[in-house]
Structure 1
Amino acid sequence: MKNTQDFYAGVLFMLVGSAFGWGALDYQVGSSGRMGPGYFPLLLGVLLALLGAAMMLRAALFQTDRINAIGPWAWKPMVAIIAANLLFGVALGGLPGLKLPALGLMAGIYLLTFVACLAGERFKFKEAALLATALAALSYLAFVLLLQLQLPVWPVFLVVN
């Protein structure tokens, strides 16, 4: 193996691309002239799998000047990013089984941003707060005002009917 990092990255790309392509087959694919809901995810999955195959082939056949050994797992960033996404999902939809109401888009974005910022080497509260505010404003503009998606924007207990 000439380049182990690129090889395993290619394996990961192939697995993810294949999974998306396989999942897209559950939807109507259609044709390029009349695309169904599964067409675009299938196309992206196949392209990602092909990119992974090309990366694997290149890593196995061609020597590079640098040493690319796989280092230790970066547990802190991985846990922070996964936790941030899970918290965003819980904030947006709540947990009805545990009687936890939805906190809405704004609280979800703030939770997502602050927890994701913990993944970095340094955490600065002011920077995270500014980033969260900008993301919340842009998300409100894009999803609520422009796309008119029916999302819970504010916590359920703050909304007056």
Structure 2
Amino acid sequence: MTVNRKDLICGLVFIVIGLLFAVGARDLDIGTATRMGPGYFPLVLCGLIIFLGVLISAKSFGKPDVDFGVIPWRALLLILPSTVIFGLTLKNIGLMPAVFIVALASSFSSSKMTVPLAFALSIGLSIFCAAVFKWGLGLPIELFGPWVRFW
């Protein structure tokens, strides 16, 4: 029997991530379906992720093996830290600069990206996020934090 290692590993990663988050959410009150507690949605989401991982893993059996290909190191080194930087800087520099930094760093994960296009993308995404989250949804989030206030 042949096994597609790429699909099998992908499914196992989904299962492990779902289990890790389920363990992290185990102390939250689940509640019931009609009166959901803070742990209800994370637990349901973990169950769906685990189920998806099982489906992907099961689908890998009986398929021909596929080469993994080249690992996109540049994308991994730029995109993964960007999410951490966003979380660490959002409160101090505000939504628009944080989104700008993340979009700018992430856009260079592609070798086809040019500098003018990266800046245009970052500015456009910052304005879009401000329009959606601050003005559209009315979330109490500062557009510019105390470190970069202009006024």
> Which bracket does the TM-score occupy, shorter chain normalised?
0.7 to 0.9
1:62-73 to 2 correspondences below 5 Å: 62-64=62-64, 67-73=65-71
Q: Name the stretch that deviates more: 7-16 or 137-146.
A: 137-146
Mapping of 1:6-45 within 5 angstroms?
6-45=7-46
Normalised by the size of structure 2, how large is the TM-score? 0.87
Q: Deviations over 1:128-147 (max 9, x none)?
A: 22222222122112221233
1:74 offset after TM fit, Å? 2.1
2:20 match: secondary structure:
helix
The gaps in structure 1 that reach 5 residues or longer are 94-101
Number of residue-to-residue matches in the alignment: 149
In structure 2, distance between residues paired with 1:131 and 1:26: 41
How far, CA to CA, are the matches of 1:2 and 1:117 in structure 2? 35
Query: For the residues of structure 1 that align with 2:11 and 2:44, how far apart are their CA atoms?
Result: 18
The unaligned stretches of length 5 or more in structure 2 are none
Q: Which has the higher contact order (CA 8 A, sep 6+)?
A: 2
2:133 alignment counterpart: 143
TM-score by length of 1: 0.82
- Other structure's SS at 1:57 match: helix
Deviations 1:96-147 (A, max 9, x none): xxxxxx1111111110011001111222122222222222122112221233
CA contact (8 A) 1:83 1:115 kept: no
Q: Deviations over 1:44-95 (max 9, x none)?
A: 1111111111211221x3224xx412234321110100122122223213xx
C-alpha separation between the residues in 2 aligned to 1:81 and 1:129? Answer: 16
Secondary structure of the structure 1 residue equivalent to 2:11: helix
Identical-pair percentage: 26
The equivalent position to 1:106 in structure 2, one of 96, 100, 116, is: 96
